[in-house]
Structure 1
């Protein structure tokens, strides 16, 4: 990690996609990321994949964390990946997914470009360390 990378504040968008209305975990993660010194934007509930991509691009985030518990991850996350690629933002964005994701689906998500999947019981320290170690270098 270069000197600029250490001094620059990591910008994160924590997003709720689709009809999933359970946001306690997203709020807990947002608070933990803020406490770790990250700049955090929370999308609010019921956002479409396109709305999330637009927010990630407009806010020029380093990290996009998708919180999804509805079971629609196999449909919605690929749309977000495609949107990030369409805007040329995929390579510069660390994409994380959190929620209840079956093991087979976790592999599929990683195959399309999700950097990591965090399930129930993942520690905040583990997530923060993963972000710090894997956030993309910026131009």
Structure 2
């Protein structure tokens, strides 16, 4: 990504009170100059991968993903020819496979932004 390009990020997190981290992250990304699509709950990896492809995203960040979602998301992106999209998990990475950027609980939104900007 060059300085002239804007980071495009799809952010997904649980609906309801637990979704506050996804909203805070989306705001921090926006404030850092990224274009953000906030999707709400990430219930289906295939749908989230399709959204990332449709939005021409550089990254997808999922807060508190359900089991299997990160692996399914990587597979869906690869199948769609978008294997270069960065996948990050904020919170418990659970069963996240290699290739997923794992950011532990309590990672400040600004640190998430910095990590995404460092990721090729």
TM-score (normalizing by structure 1): 0.76
CA RMSD, aligned part only?
1.8
| 1:109 pairs with 2:96 | yes
| 1:56 pairs with 2:43 | no
Give, in whole Å, the separation in 2 of the partners of 1:33 and 1:46. 18
Runs of 5+ unmatched residues, structure 2: none
Quote the offset at 1:110 in angstroms: 4.6
Equivalence for 2:90: 98
Give, in whole Å, the separation in 1 of the partners of 2:22 and 2:40. 9
Pick one of 31, 38, 49 that aligns with 2:27. 31
Figure out how many residues of one structure are paired with residues of the other and give that number: 118
Q: Which has the larger radius of gyration?
A: 1
Larger proportion of helix = 1
Pick one of 82, 103, 117 that aligns with 1:132. 117
TM-score (normalizing by structure 2): 0.87
